[in-house]
Amino acid sequence: MTGFDHASVLQDEAIDGLAPRDHGVYVDGTLGGAGHSTALLDRVPTATVIGIDRDPSALEAARERLARFGDRARLVHGEYGEIATILRGLDVEHVHGILLDLGVSSPQLDRADRGFSFSKTGPLDMRMDPTRGPTALELMRDLSVEDLGELIKDLGEERYGKRIARMIKEALHANKLATTTELAALVGRAIPAAEQRKSKIHPATRTFQGLRIAVNAELDQLATLLEVFPDLLAPGGRCAIISFHSLEDRLVKQRFRDLAWASSLPAKFAADAGERLAPVCELVSRKAIVASDDEIAKNPRARSARLRICARTAAPNVPATTLPGAAAARHGR
């Protein structure tokens, strides 16, 4: 193995949720160490997985781990937001399931040179694909103090984002900020001690989260996937997404609920109003699926995981209208 060992969160629940079928084709959009894909291919000996990951080291490890499955595992270096283009390039029109395990993986956190961890001294990189795009340091240099503050506040959900941004820009101007531990120490000075004593997390957690999400355009990737996946799923196919913070989970929850909405009006009136006649997807579980106490004890990272699953219907993927009637019906559900 190439050193990308990662404990897959909610593995059984995710594979159960996909309900894999014989000869089905599945996309693992965040392949990582291939834990979920291995479990799926082991469970259904005739299934095929198309594994996508933007981290070359993850792909290398996954290729080794999945070698025993031969051409049942097709691996692609890319971003899951490019899924439609990737599938066209592979001559695949529809798949029977799509799986995402969002966020940063344990091997990425463990390697200091990747710059994801505030507990290890490394460069301020944070790119999931180190072959493309600006690093966290370059992003902080390029943004204005106002934009940087908004980024940390919105994507990191950090109330002291503006103060942290101001101190970051001052440190950059003085050439006193180049490593992860220097950034963590700076954030520690920016957040009042009284606030830190009340918090259960490291003071730099939210700032690192915001920067990482921005560097990797994680919410943009997710929004793109959520927009296109209904057209890529065969009827009965399922989409399962594991998220780890509220920004991601909110996007997934809202999109799945929108796709499950249909007009309550009689068909003729709904059609005249341009409202959706039947749901595009059905919710497999009304509430998010969470990890068991046993899994959390073995893997604390699972504590914040939320799994949501929806199943494609045979209905046309027609957007729900924004007409007042549709909005009122949706709010009344």
- The pLDDT of residue 96: 98
Query: Do 244 and 313 have their domain in common?
Result: yes
Average pLDDT value for the chain: 92
Q: Considering the entire predicted model, what is its pTM?
A: 0.91
| Count: domains in the chain | 2
Query: Which structural domain, as residue segments, surrounds residue 290?
Result: 11-106+221-332
Helix segments in 135-266, DSSP class H: 136-142, 145-155, 161-173, 180-190, 193-198, 205-215, 218-232, 246-259
* Predicted confidence (pLDDT) at residue 197 exceeds the cutoff of 60: yes
Query: Do 97 and 157 have their domain in common?
Result: no
What kind and span of H or E run contains 14? helix 11-18
- The pLDDT of residue 316: 87
- Quick check: 112 and 122 in contact, CB under 8 A? yes
Q: Answer whether residue 114 is part of any domain.
A: no
Contacts of 318 (CB under 8 A, 6+ apart): 276, 280
Last residue of a domain, one of 215, 246, 262: 215
Last residue of a domain, one of 215, 241, 276: 215
Last residue of a domain, one of 215, 232, 255: 215
Q: Answer whether residue 138 is part of any domain.
A: yes
C-alpha angle 7/9/12, rounded to 5°?
105
From the list 183, 191, 199, the residue with the least C-alpha distance to 162 is: 191
Cα–Cα distance for residue pair 270/285, rounded to 1 Å:
27
Q: Answer whether residue 91 is part of any domain.
A: yes
CA distances 207 to 137, 184, 245, Å, are 13, 9, 14
For the chain, percent of residues with pLDDT exceeding 70: 93
Query: Do 149 and 245 have their domain in common?
Result: no
Q: Answer whether residue 243 is part of any domain.
A: yes
Q: Answer whether residue 189 is part of any domain.
A: yes
Q: Answer whether residue 319 is part of any domain.
A: yes
Q: Answer whether residue 96 is part of any domain.
A: yes
- The pLDDT of residue 301: 86
Instruction: Tell me what the mean pLDDT of segment 172-198 comes to.
Output: 97
Query: Do 196 and 244 have their domain in common?
Result: no
Residue 319 per-residue DSSP state: P
Q: 160: domain CATH number?
A: 1.10.150.170
Count of all residues that appear for the chain in the document: 333
Query: Do 228 and 294 have their domain in common?
Result: yes
- The pLDDT of residue 30: 97
Could you tell me the two tokens for 57?
């080291």
* Predicted confidence (pLDDT) at residue 178 exceeds the cutoff of 60: yes
From the list 149, 142, 157, the residue with the least C-alpha distance to 249 is: 157
Cα–Cα distance for residue pair 33/119, rounded to 1 Å:
23
Q: Answer whether residue 112 is part of any domain.
A: no
Query: Do 101 and 172 have their domain in common?
Result: no
- The pLDDT of residue 329: 36
Q: 33: domain CATH number?
A: 3.40.50.150
Query: Do 45 and 87 have their domain in common?
Result: yes
Strand partners, 242: 101, 307
Query: Do 237 and 291 have their domain in common?
Result: yes
Query: Do 35 and 101 have their domain in common?
Result: yes
Q: Report pLDDT digits (tens) over 63-116.
A: 999 999 999 999 999 999 999 999 999 999 999 999 999 988 888 888 999 999
Cα–Cα distance for residue pair 56/54, rounded to 1 Å:
6
Instruction: Tell me what the mean pLDDT of segment 291-312 comes to.
Output: 95
